[in-house]
Chains A and B, each alone.
Chain A
Amino acid sequence: MMARLLPTLAVWAVLAMLPLLLGEWELAMFGQLLIYGIVAISLAFIWGQGGLVSFGQALFFGAGAYAMSLTAKGMLPGIPASPWLGLLFAIAAGAIFGALVGGALFFGKGLRTAYFGIITIAAAVIAERVTTNWRFIGGFNGLLDVPPLPLPGGLDSADPLAGYLLVLGFALLAFLFLLAVERSPYGTVLRGIRCDERRIMSLGFFVPIWKVVALALSGGVAGLAGGLFATQFNFVSPAVIGLALSTEILIWAAVGGKGVLMAAFIGAIVVKYMEGYLSETIGNYWLLVTGIAFIVVVVLFPQGLLGRLFKLPTPYRLRGD
């Protein structure tokens, strides 16, 4: 039983010890990788548990990043320029966008997976075009000089160690939150919906609401990641909301393993880390390789490469014995 928990615990232990092993520059880079990890688990949650493949997860991420930047830079009339308030708004923006997309789609009669895919693709493409053309939020150049999160003791998240630990804390929080949802009775219903929506409906659950809430939760976590991105990278641009990033997120979750949060988390970190090294040496071939790798994983390893490793034991509630 404990053995099944070990890989997951080991990951957190290693991540917590990284500051002892790495220099400042690498630590900052790992902090950024963790942010991608957070958005990957937001997709793994909605995909693995709810069976909803979002091809536009960057929409929620980008909504969070823009909400963060606008608030932190004091560009919203009547709202104080506060990074922490911005992070709160980032989560809210992601959740609201998630609820909006869900509400627009799931209350209709009989929506198919394919529709959801197309609509999320279209939403991401359009969001990117709108942000590119909207002067108020910076247009093509985006918003620069997004301030870091102030921390007690005169520090702020621009400090490599403090920034890393802060992001790590949020990653752990997001992970535990989604894990708790996944293992709660709500998660069980969600998996039921994934398997047989009609049967769950006939058991008396109003499925659309459940799906909208799931998408809002996923959007909220993605928004959190977006907010952290804006503050740690100090800028946002239309690239954070578009199809290219959405596709990357999808690939991370699929390669790691959509059914297991930690697998998707590590998938994001590993793929993005490799990209950092390999895209310099093999350049344009990197995207070609990831595209092909993605196809191979989809065809041959539908559970991802790491799903088995990080699969946690079934909750006591659901065990037969």
Chain B
Amino acid sequence: MLEIKGLRSGYARGADILKGIDLNVTAGERVAIMGRNGMGKTLLAKTIMGLVKPSAGDIRLEGAPIGAMPAHKISNLGVAYVPQGREIFGDFTILENLRMGVIGKPKLGLEGLEKIYDWFPILRERQSQRAGTMSGGQMQQLAIARALIGRPKLLLLDEPSEGIQPNIVHEIAEKLSAISATEGLTVIVIEQNFEMVEILAERVAFLENGLITGESPTSRLVAEPELITQNMGL
């Protein structure tokens, strides 16, 4: 459902950091992208999302080219983005943050709210509080909920485990894989933390020096953990 071919991209013209990414993700699949810092993982997410224009290559979502589209159109085609650092609106209430998840989508209202609250009960409890007052793990849940309420086909998560306690990481990972399974949601998660990947992803792609250098089913990495360090060039 997402096909990336020969994708090149960079923050400055003539300085590509991604140097020809090839990646295929099928519908309903959950894929992790692992790699060291500075290898271009976040840039890959931003390029898929339309925040950075590719300098070459092709990105297709369900066959439609989205490489040249602005972010809001890509969002409306069903790609939801949970960026690194969560980027929730700290001055807004939790409910307002959730409303932001559907505000750009004329066909959607808050009808999905109850389901979201069932998945993340803490958000129901605190719905009229300012989002900036929550803990890191709660903010992450809000960021994910804000993405899900827009009924995406593809969820793009960038370092969702960053700065969150291990038990919450488990909880979020399990919840996400359950949601993906019941809703048929495709997930791409960018991670360094294998605990998250182990639960959430079925397949791992390794990104190094701007290229996908290897792929492996998660189960194989669980059995042979040394493959992870090898593939990440550690």
A touches B (Cβ under 8 A): no
Chain B residues within CB distance 8 Å of chain A: none
Chain A residues within CB distance 8 Å of chain B: none
